[in-house]
Structure 1
């Protein structure tokens, strides 16, 4: 077992080193994703911290350097001109926003705010705590400003829950959760050349019609120069996402604890604690679905809950949001729907639902980043056996299917030569396997 573990760690390190770029950031996967992604960079930094502190620090520093003047951090930073990805910077036009970065081209949307808890994880991992704390001191205010941005600009009803205006902001790009919203929309047919399907089998990617919806939402944001108030008023997609808000809450807690270590930031700690309390209360009141026994998304545009169970439903465990009693209900829901003996934990969408697809992106496959969070959340609540299963399932999938972007949750797919899906040599899969194995 030990030799195998060491071997897997070495292979994971090779993946990360090969994907690290001269500009001081790591691409998620060669060909498919040639730029820097916000939440990817966070997870990647966790893996890098185990063996290359300089690269880990550079990863976060480079991401935060692309922050806008209003605290916003974009979901893709286009460090290079590379036309192998659509839609590129020329479609997104971040320059339309008056406060966007003048140094970097980017998108005008964001991704789950993982950076706060990532800074804390980096401190947990490294041997030289003093050096890392020095680095954190130099970066933490940027992450704080990002949280202030969310609370001041993404919470129109002042509830303590922030909205996303695009499915790409959720991180779970084509989840079946969004199908209900697509039913309320009828975007025009766009003419464009897909780049992703030249790298990956089209059956594993979103459809052309789904892309029409994605581009249409961006067009509405662009017409309004990415103004948050206008987007809140006009975007057909306006959602309070349990994963996104759980990441904000987890990162709030990390910032509070880091600022307490650093000392002298009482005003910031007070602001974070006040919002933290509001967020957790609203999260438990508004996003909990008693009948389903799970947290769900809320469609703010159409004022209705989106009643589906997905891996995002379980992310609140990682952020210590549910009570002990509610956590038990949540774990039971997960095991009943997702935990069959014929399946690996944890599918990204409810395997008992008609919309479930074990091959297609966020419509059913297993994702290592979600499992990594779930593993830690389960342990926090004392579910050590199920946590171990999540960890072992993750390792087994990577060992057998390769360092891919996502994996079939079925133990038997009927395929003798099975491999993972999506991008190969995928950075966060490699990074988080390192962290799982070294813990």
Structure 2
């Protein structure tokens, strides 16, 4: 069974790899290149086709803007099966946007730094991989410069996101209270996602009105970060996004040390790390909840909900040993019942929890991969193994879907996975977890 699934995972990645040197997340539903998807996909490719792994990252980084920004979607092709597309986003409004590729004007969690390090870990030919990293690493460093220069208005080492899509956790219940502060216009548009996937599994039309309005605000100001920070009703310090940045900072430090001769960059990265980790622990940890939470920078208040993002700091070694214990206790009490697979994307004990709706409760393989790695590196090997087993079991039972119901028994004999099928990062991270003892 495992051999057949492994072959299927490889077949999915190979089928989703496009002539332009990038991999689509899922045929039909997601026809372009997504930033954090590409990172996870490259990790999977590295286990059996290192050239594809390098091509995936090279293509993504080739779409970087002149100010270091890397967009969340790169529109390599013309395709009308996805909305909103390049014509709506109008990345060309920003004077420093890529002249080679059309894209969105928003980003996604900055995984590229630790992805390069993972590729080095996996690669058999270390010299060849180090040569590739030498060619590409400064682009990732420039991306981090962009974040600390343009997305940290208080100079506290925590960067903001201005759109829920930048978080990667698109329709999380975390955003519900922000939507209540907004009254966007009713947009007229044709949804494309619901032609591929049951509408009950996707964000609502009214939620999309909020999403499009935030993009329009950014477009009105030519995607100027200072104006967005001043005017956007959505301005959030996200624990997942900032944990990925901190994890990638550490990876860049270690890779630059390996390369040698980059003391200035190492010093800059180290300064960012000290400030970021301190602010992260001081500002984003909620002692009463026993977890890290999002912070609403526009309204200057924490958003007090527990999500799978709340535990992502384990992956970046942000919490102390004592605080890691608190996180694990919270995870097991809220998310870890015997009737559930770890780890739901939203607190199953909360009224807003929905086990079938995108980021409002289902299990996602990319988050489980990070939690598996984070728990393992913090010494919680048994719990890490449970997350790995749960992840593999979901895939064995339902296939390589985008996300899964966290309930072990839903009472539905026709139970299946949700979202896109033959989903690239589910396949890629399955390959990596199977190869990790």
| Structure 1 partner of 2:427 | 430
1:307 and 1:148 mapped to 2: Cα distance?
30
Q: Report the secondary structure of 2:359's partner residue.
A: helix
1:383 and 1:310 mapped to 2: Cα distance?
19
1:360 and 1:401 mapped to 2: Cα distance?
17
2:385 is aligned, of 383, 388, 396, to: 388
How many positions carry a matched residue from both structures?
436
Matched, 1:196 2:193: yes
Matched, 1:357 2:369: no
1:12 and 1:413 mapped to 2: Cα distance?
26
Q: Report the secondary structure of 2:142's partner residue.
A: helix
| Structure 2 partner of 1:171 | 168
2:2 is aligned, of 1, 5, 10, to: 5
| Structure 1 partner of 2:48 | 51
Give the ranges of 4+ consecutive aligned residues of structure 1 lying more than 3 Å apart after TM superposition.
none
| Structure 1 partner of 2:78 | 81
Q: Report the secondary structure of 1:57's partner residue.
A: helix
CA offset at residue 44 of structure 1?
0.1
2:366 is aligned, of 365, 369, 377, to: 369
Q: Which runs of 5+ in 1 are unaligned?
A: none
| Structure 2 partner of 1:97 | 94
Q: Report the secondary structure of 1:298's partner residue.
A: strand
Once the two structures are overlaid, the 10-residue window that deviates more, 410-419 or 19-28, is 410-419
| Structure 2 partner of 1:416 | 413
Matched, 1:24 2:5: no
Matched, 1:319 2:334: no
CA offset at residue 163 of structure 1?
0.1
CA offset at residue 27 of structure 1?
0.1
Once the two structures are overlaid, the 10-residue window that deviates more, 414-423 or 11-20, is 414-423
Structure 1 segment 131-210 matched on structure 2, within 5 A: 131-210=128-207
| Structure 2 partner of 1:253 | 250
2:125 and 2:424 mapped to 1: Cα distance?
24
1:140 and 1:374 mapped to 2: Cα distance?
25
Q: Report the secondary structure of 1:305's partner residue.
A: strand
CA offset at residue 416 of structure 1?
1.2
For residues 133-183 of structure 1, the C-alpha deviation after alignment (integer angstroms, 9 at most, x for no partner) is 000000000000000000000000101000000000000000000001001
Query: Normalized against structure 1, the TM-score is what?
Result: 0.99
Q: Report the secondary structure of 1:414's partner residue.
A: coil
For residues 36-66 of structure 1, the C-alpha deviation after alignment (integer angstroms, 9 at most, x for no partner) is 0000000000000000001000000000000
Q: Report the secondary structure of 1:362's partner residue.
A: coil
Q: Which runs of 5+ in 2 are unaligned?
A: none
| Structure 1 partner of 2:226 | 229
For residues 318-346 of structure 1, the C-alpha deviation after alignment (integer angstroms, 9 at most, x for no partner) is 00000000000000000000000000000
2:430 and 2:416 mapped to 1: Cα distance?
17
1:400 is aligned, of 393, 397, 400, to: 397
2:402 and 2:117 mapped to 1: Cα distance?
25
CA offset at residue 250 of structure 1?
0.2
1:8 and 1:319 mapped to 2: Cα distance?
30
CA offset at residue 5 of structure 1?
2.1
CA offset at residue 417 of structure 1?
2.2
1:211 is aligned, of 208, 213, 222, to: 208
| Structure 2 partner of 1:40 | 37
CA RMSD of aligned residues (A): 0.4
